[in-house]
Amino acid sequence: MPIRPFAPPDRLLAGMHGETDHRGFLVTHVVFRDEAGAPVLKLADTDKAVRCMLERRCQTCGLDIAPDDQIVFVGYSADATFKEPPLHLDCADYSLGVCPALITRHRHDQLLVVVCRDYEFLPGSEGRSPRCRPLPAIDEHGREVPPVEYTVEELHRMLTERASGRHD
């Protein structure tokens, strides 16, 4: 499968006005800023991250995730909860395609990508940071539909097929 280019979603460019760090990487919404206001892409601003979790906002672009939009969580979760805020599907696809921390980590093959329609916020307690737990959805027949787990490669493949019209 040829490597496809990962163009930034329009909402990311609109939400962040195309700001880049000193290496040319797009600055995301939850990025930490140093004393001089320069983005430090390796660190997240905890307050912004928690607000994204509480307000159903994308950690990458900072824009609202609509109730009927798919939500993506990315992380190394052993208990089906995530300490990273939610993402739009296209923002997740972009981030998983270009983020150096996600691409080069030695645990890349253990990275869990979960797509769902809703989640619950779990406030931090007993030394544990706030987290999100993806929730099942209810289909048109009233049946419970669990969140779907993907590998990074499966998500990229599904979205490539969807964009080419080969996937429903």
The answer to whether the beta carbons of residues 92 and 155 sit under 8 Å apart is: yes
Q: Do 97 and 133 meet the contact criterion of CB atoms below 8 Å apart?
A: no
For the segment 33-51, what is each residue's pLDDT rounded down to a tens digit? Answer: 999 988 888 888 999 999 9
The mean pLDDT value for 124-137 works out to: 88
Per-residue pLDDT at 3: 44
Q: What is the DSSP letter of 3?
A: P
In this structure, how many other beta carbons lie within 10 angstroms of the beta carbon of residue 153? 13
Q: State the pLDDT confidence band at 2, using cuts at 50, 70 and 90.
A: very low
Q: What is the mean pLDDT of the chain?
A: 83
What distance in Å separates the CA atoms of residue 90 and residue 70, rounded to the nearest whole number?
A: 10
- Kind and range of the H or E run holding 23: none
Cβ neighbours around 30 below 10 Å, total: 22
- Position 9: which residue type? P
124 token code pair:
């931090």
Does the pTM exceed 0.95? no
Could you tell me the two tokens for 92? 């997740």
Higher pLDDT, 14 or 152: 152
In angstroms, rounded to a whole number, what is the distance separating the alpha carbons of residues 105 and 111?
A: 9
